[in-house]
Amino acid sequence: MNGPSVSDVLSAGIELRSADPPAGDVLLVNRATEPVRLFRPGNSWGDEALSFELTRGGTTARLVRRPQVYSRDVAAWVLVPPGGDQARPFDFGDGSWEVRDSDQLRGPGTSLVVVYAVRDSAEARANGVWTGHLRSAPVSLEAAR
């Protein structure tokens, strides 16, 4: 597994509130000296940017949000000031994430990595949002119990 990645602009981290099922906040931190725009959750661009990698027993599974139906899918953004962060809550027990088997979220050596990836697109360019790919450091789910 690769180590955490940090851009000159953003870093990503996980703050767990619960490990069974995993729940907490993803923190996207603006490391730049200028404000940065990020796609806001609640639209396809913002929701699809966030995923997780769950590693257990040497096997890694990608966890993504279940497909959503948006009554109005608008590429909205939020401005994060220099040194500020944007918290994105998550809860793998709320039914909004594709989790094949809740047992995959448990067990010795289980860890979680957040991936925040925004592709270059017409919407990203039109809204001036950050584009790139980040991975957090792994967080042990055993230690959070």
55, containing H or E segment: strand 50-56
Tens of pLDDT, residue by residue over 54-105, are: 998 888 889 999 988 888 889 999 999 999 999 999 999 898 998 876 666 7
Matching residue, tokens 């806001």: 40
Residue 6, Cβ density class (10 Å: 0-12 exposed, 13-18 middle, ≥19 buried): middle
Query: Angle at the Cα of 65 (from 20 to 16), degrees rounded to 5?
Result: 35
Whole-prediction pTM: 0.87
Tens of pLDDT, residue by residue over 1-55, are: 334 445 688 999 999 998 788 999 999 999 999 999 999 999 999 999 999 999 9
- Which neighbouring-strand residues pair with 56? 59
Q: What is the mean pLDDT of the chain?
A: 88
Matching residue, tokens 């709320």: 94
The CATH fold assigned to 10-138 is: Immunoglobulin-like (2.60.40)
**Closest by alpha carbon to 29, among 77, 86, 79?**
86
Domain ranges across the chain? 10-138
